[in-house]
Amino acid sequence: HRVESGGGVVQPGGSLRLSCAASGFPFSNYGIHWVRQTPGKGLEWVSFIRYDGAYKFYADSVQGRFTISRDNSKNTLYLQMSGLRAEDTAVYYCARDFSSSGSYPDFWGQGTLVTVSS
């Protein structure tokens, strides 16, 4: 079970932090992704963090603006977003990876909506 939170309306150039609280599986054993979906459109992979937080990867579209992190003691994943743009408006999903170090997302949360607008 994964519950995302932290979404909302933010002005262009602003910041927001998303959280994903996980339960029902050994969180610290799995890599986790953030994937977003623009309203009415397709899926876009955003970021991945390895089970121990030692490796992090980002899509070019968010590199340098977004930071993924995790707190295994709290079973929680984070996405710190800054320099937000209108094109970042989307539903953001956290999704568990099948493995610890990166393969494919297998179970997804229900998502949280981020709207970037003045």
Task: Supply the minimum distance, in Å, between the C-beta of residue 55 and other proteins.
Answer: 8
Q: What length is written for the chain?
A: 118
Closest by alpha carbon to 66, among 47, 38, 44? 47
Binding mask 31-50 for other proteins (x = CB under 8 A): --x-x------xxxx--x--
Q: Are 30 and 99 in contact (CB under 8 A)?
A: yes
Task: Supply the minimum distance, in Å, between the C-beta of residue 19 and other proteins.
Answer: 17
Binding mask 51-90 for other proteins (x = CB under 8 A): ------x-xx------------------------------
Cα–Cα distance, 96 to 99 (Å, whole number): 8
Strand duo 112-116 + 8-10: pairing: parallel
Residues near other proteins, by CB under 8 A: 33, 35, 42-45, 48, 57, 59-60, 93, 95, 98, 102-111
